[in-house]
C-alpha cells in the first residue's frame, strides 16, 4: 500500500494507535514515497521506536528490528555462516568426495544465517526496517550500514551479490549519545521528535489510559511539563506520563493534590537526586496552586 498524502499517513497512524505530530506525519509520508531512510532523533521515551512499529502496522508490512548495542558487528547484523552445520556437512562427507564439491556445498545459501539487515533486504515482501539506537554502535558499523543503505545490496565473498528484492522503509533511531557521521545524515531524512505539546500529550495519555478524566489529565500534563522544566538528570518522558496516569487511575485519585503528588512522584522521577529537587520545587508550587 502506498499512502497518497500526508493526511493519509496521519490518519493511518492514528488508526493504529499512534498520534503523530505534524512533522512526524510529513516525514513518514516522504519516507514511503522517496525511498529514503529516516533518522529519528530525540530524548528517551518520546515515541521513536513506537513510530516504526506503528508505520509497519499501518503499511501492513512486517517489522524487522535490529537492536543496536556496543560491539554489534556484521555477523550479528548482516549474516554469518552456520559453522555447526558446515562442520556436520564436512563430517558427513561421502566416501571419496572431492573437496571442491564439499566446499561448493558448505558455502551455499543453505548454510547462511540471515541476520536482520539481510532478512530485510532479501524479503520478497517489502518490510519496515527499524535500526534502533544506532548511536550505541561504533563508526565502523555505521560505515557498513551506509553502504547497505545507499546500494541496498550485500556482497558475500563466497556467494556473490545479494540485491534487494524490495525496498524497505528504514527508520534509524538515536538518543544522540554520540554524534553520527555527516555521511549517514546526508543519506537520511531527519525527524526530530521532542516532548509533545501539553494538548498533544494529553491526547496520547488518554489514548493509553482512556478512563482518565479530562480535568486530572490536564493537570497531569501540566505538572509533567513543570517537572521537565527543572534541570533533572532524567526528565520524565511520555512513557512516564502514561504510567503515572495509569497509577493515578488505579489509586482512584481524582486530583493531583500535594499529597497525591508526593506519594506517586516516583512513577515519573527515577533518580534519588532528582526526587529531592522535584519534591522541593514542584511540591511547593502544587501547594500554592488552586485546588
Ligand X SMILES: Nc1ncnc2c1ncn2[C@@H]1O[C@H](COP(=O)(O)OP(=O)(O)OP(=O)(O)O)[C@@H](O)[C@H]1O
Interface with Mg ion (CB under 5 A): 49
Largest CA distance in the chain: 91
d(CA 73, CA 84): 20
Q: Closer CB to ligand X, residue 50 or residue 105?
A: 50
What x-and-dash track marks residues 215-244 binding ligand X by CB under 6 A? -----------------------xx--x--
135 binds ligand X (CB under 6 A): no
Which residue's C-alpha cell is 556496543?
Answer: 70
CB proximity list for 175: less than 8 A, separation 6 or greater: 41, 42, 43, 44, 133, 135
Q: Closer CB to ligand X, residue 77 or residue 209?
A: 209
How far apart are the two ends of the chain, measured CA to CA in Å? 50
222 touches, from Mg ion, ligand X, none (C-beta below 5 to 8 Å by class): none
The least CB distance from residue 24 to ligand X, in Å, is: 7
CB proximity list for 71: less than 8 A, separation 6 or greater: 138
Residue count, binding to ligand X (CB under 6 A): 16
CB proximity list for 90: less than 8 A, separation 6 or greater: 102, 106
Q: What angle do CA 113, 114, 120 make, to 5 degrees?
A: 175
What x-and-dash track marks residues 50-89 binding ligand X by CB under 6 A? x---------------------------------------
d(CA 236, CA 247): 15
48 binds ligand X (CB under 6 A): yes
18 touches, from Mg ion, ligand X, none (C-beta below 5 to 8 Å by class): ligand X
User: The dihedral of CA 258, 263, 266, 268: what is its sign?
Assistant: negative
Q: Among 44, 75, 143, 183, which residue interacts with ligand X (rule: CB under 6 A)? A: 44
- Name the DSSP class of 260: H
The least CB distance from residue 58 to ligand X, in Å, is: 12
3 touches, from ligand X, Mg ion, none (C-beta below 5 to 8 Å by class): none
> Which range touches ligand X (CB under 6 A), out of 2-10, 42-50, 62-70, 252-260?
42-50
Cβ(168)–Cβ(128) under 8 Å?
yes
Q: Closer CB to Mg ion, residue 56 or residue 260?
A: 56
Residues at the site binding ligand X, with contacts judged by CB under 6 A: 18-20, 44-50, 175, 204, 207, 238-239, 242
Amino acid at each position: 500500500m502506498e499512502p497518497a498524502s500526508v493526511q493519509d499517513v496521519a490518519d493511518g497512524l492514528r488508526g493504529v494507535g499512534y498520534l503523530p505530530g505534524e512533522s512526524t506525519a510529513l516525514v513518514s509520508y516522504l519516507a514511503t514515497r522517496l525511498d529514503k531512510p529516516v533518522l529519528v532523533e530525540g530524548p528517551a521515551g518520546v515515541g521513536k521506536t513506537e513510530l516504526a512499529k506503528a508505520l509497519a502496522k499501518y503499511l501492513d508490512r512486517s517489522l524487522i528490528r535490529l537492536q543496536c548495542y556496543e560491539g554489534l558487528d556484521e555477523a550479528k547484523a548482516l549474516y554469518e555462516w552456520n559453522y555447526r552445520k558446515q562442520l556436520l556437512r564436512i563430517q558427513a562427507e561421502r566416501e571419496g568426495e572431492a573437496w571442491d564439491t564439499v566446499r561448493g556445498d558448505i558455502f551455499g545459501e543453505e548454510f547462511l544465517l540471515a541476520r536482520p539487515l539481510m532478512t530485510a533486504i532479501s524479503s520478497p515482501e517489502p518490510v519496515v526496517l527499524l535500526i534502533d539506537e544506532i548511536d550505541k554502535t561504533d563508526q565502523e558499523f555505521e560505515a557498513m550500514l551506509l553502504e547497505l543503505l545507499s546500494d541496498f545490496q550485500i556482497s558475500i565473498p563466497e556467494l556473490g551479490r545479494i540485491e534487494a528484492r524490495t525496498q524497505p522503509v528504514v527508520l534509524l533511531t538515536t538518543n544522540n549519545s554520540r554524534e553520527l557521521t555527516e555521511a549517514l545524515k546526508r543519506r537520511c531524512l531527519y525527524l526530530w521528535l521532542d516532548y509533545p505539546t501539553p494538548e498533544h500529550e494529553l491526547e496520547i495519555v488518554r489514548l493509553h489510559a482512556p478512563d482518565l478524566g479530562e480535568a486530572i489529565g490536564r493537570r497531569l500534563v501540566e505538572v509533567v511539563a513543570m517537572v521537565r522544566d527543572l534541570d533533572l538528570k532524567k526528565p520524565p518522558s511520555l512513557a512516564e506520563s502514561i504510567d503515572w496516569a495509569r497509577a493515578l487511575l488505579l489509586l482512584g485519585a481524582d486530583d493531583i493534590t500535594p499529597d497525591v503528588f508526593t506519594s506517586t512522584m516516583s512513577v515519573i522521577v527515577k533518580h534519588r537526586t532528582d526526587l529531592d529537587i522535584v519534591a522541593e520545587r514542584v511540591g511547593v508550587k502544587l501547594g500554592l496552586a488552586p485546588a
